[in-house]
């Protein structure tokens, strides 16, 4: 089952999926905490956001997009009401998340019980739902973490442990933002120490510091990698990464996306074209460059339907 903002769907229903996009990153903690902890929304602002973002969703739908994964965690401004409206109107499935839901400084206060408190909360988000809107209990489809740059620090280590515990209990996969290849293995080790299979872990932004040896090592341990920052100025590099995956037989463990922010793009004149470019320009570019069309289609459809599949069923 895939958990979306409009309830659960089967993997086959996902269609072509952008596996790491942002709707509107938000840094105002009052706003993000209010939405997550107390379901407090600014409805007037929500209407403005829906109006700005809907043309993007309709254009994505026309370009053949079936699903988008919201990569902003609760602390980053995930707005379930806006997401649900956008999904209902456009017909594009949206997969929400739980995960980083408070400032990392809270680790100073809750050091000893941090892992227990966080893992309990993330399990509860799945079991009870993040929020009920109308008749729909919205459950997270995965957990989102964002590691700081540099060596794995205590707070990120504890967040990963909490996520692994919650994953073992619920089946939710873990999406972990790591910008430096040299620090990836430390995160894998933390997850593995909880007995969590790495088939539940994706190294998001593996294309930022695309060390092919580290990528291969993540794959060999059963993990996934995200080539999720596909932009028009890096098509050749991203295509070559996909070619590397195919040549080395791990194309079924990669997820593709653009990592744009829809709201930010809505403020630019050419935002929509940029947003649909993965499907409308990058895919043809890859096929012209020798990548098998069917294989590419499978990467965009079958792969996310496997990674985000949670066998536990909750209605």
The binding site for Zn ion (CB under 5 A) comprises 71, 259
Q: Which two tokens stand for residue 301?
A: 């459809």
| Residue that the structure tokens 């980053």 belong to | 76
Instruction: Output 71 or 188, the one with its CB closest to Zn ion.
Output: 71
Instruction: Output 71 or 163, the one with its CB closest to Zn ion.
Output: 71
Residue 257 CB, shortest distance to Zn ion, in Å, is 8
Cα separation values, 244 from 16, 120, 218, 241, 291, Å: 21, 39, 14, 5, 11
CB 2 within 8 A of CB 142: no
CB 98 within 8 A of CB 143: yes
Residue 145 CB, shortest distance to Zn ion, in Å, is 12
Instruction: Output 27 or 313, the one with its CB closest to Zn ion.
Output: 27
Q: How far apart are CA 55 and CA 4, in angstroms?
A: 20
Q: Which two tokens stand for residue 151?
A: 């060596």
Residue 25 CB, shortest distance to Zn ion, in Å, is 8
> Residue 160: which of 113, 112, 99 has the closest Cα?
99
3-state secondary structure of 148: coil
Residue 71 CB, shortest distance to Zn ion, in Å, is 4
Instruction: Output 70 or 251, the one with its CB closest to Zn ion.
Output: 70
Residue 217 CB, shortest distance to Zn ion, in Å, is 23
Cα separation values, 59 from 79, 90, 240, 265, 303, Å: 21, 9, 27, 13, 23
Residue 65 CB, shortest distance to Zn ion, in Å, is 17
CB 87 within 8 A of CB 117: no
Instruction: Output 19 or 136, the one with its CB closest to Zn ion.
Output: 19
Instruction: Output 115 or 178, the one with its CB closest to Zn ion.
Output: 178
> Residue 147: which of 224, 73, 257, 37 has the closest Cα?
73
Instruction: Output 1 or 144, the one with its CB closest to Zn ion.
Output: 144
Q: Which two tokens stand for residue 45?
A: 């602002």
3-state secondary structure of 203: strand
Residue 24 CB, shortest distance to Zn ion, in Å, is 12
Q: How far apart are CA 11 and CA 62, in angstroms?
A: 20
């Amino acid at each position: 089952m895939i958990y979306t903002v409009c309830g659960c769907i089967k993997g086959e229903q996902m269609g072509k999926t952008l596996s790491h996009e942002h709707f509107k990153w938000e840094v105002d903690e009052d706003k993000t905490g209010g939405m997550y902890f107390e379901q407090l929304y600014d409805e007037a602002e929500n209407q403005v956001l829906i109006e700005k973002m809907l043309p993007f969703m309709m254009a994505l739908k026309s370009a053949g997009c079936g699903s988008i994964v919201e990569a902003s965690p609760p602390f980053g401004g995930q707005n379930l009401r806006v997401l649900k409206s956008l999904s209902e109107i456009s017909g594009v499935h949206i997969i929400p998340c739980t995960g980083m839901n408070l400032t990392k400084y809270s680790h100073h206060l809750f050091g000893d019980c941090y892992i227990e408190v966080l893992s309990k909360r993330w399990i509860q988000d799945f079991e009870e739902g993040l929020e009920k809107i109308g008749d729909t209990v919205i459950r997270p489809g995965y957990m989102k973490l964002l590691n700081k740059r540099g060596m794995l620090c205590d707070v990120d280590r504890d967040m990963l442990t909490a996520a692994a515990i919650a994953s073992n209990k619920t089946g939710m996969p873990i999406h972990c933002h790591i910008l430096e290849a040299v620090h990836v293995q430390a995160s894998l080790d933390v997850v593995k120490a909880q007995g969590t299979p790495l088939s539940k872990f994706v190294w998001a932004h593996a294309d930022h510091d695309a060390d092919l040896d580290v990528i291969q090592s993540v794959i060999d341990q059963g993990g996934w990698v995200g080539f999720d920052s596909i932009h028009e100025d890096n098509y050749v590099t991203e295509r070559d990464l996909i070619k590397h995956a195919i040549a080395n037989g791990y194309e079924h463990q990669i997820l593709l996306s653009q990592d744009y922010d829809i709201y930010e793009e809505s403020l630019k004149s050419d935002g929509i074209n940029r947003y649909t470019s993965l499907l409308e320009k990058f895919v043809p570019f890859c096929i012209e460059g020798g990548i098998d069309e069917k294989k590419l289609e499978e990467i965009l459809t079958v792969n996310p339907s496997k990674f985000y599949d949670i066998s536990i069923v909750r209605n």
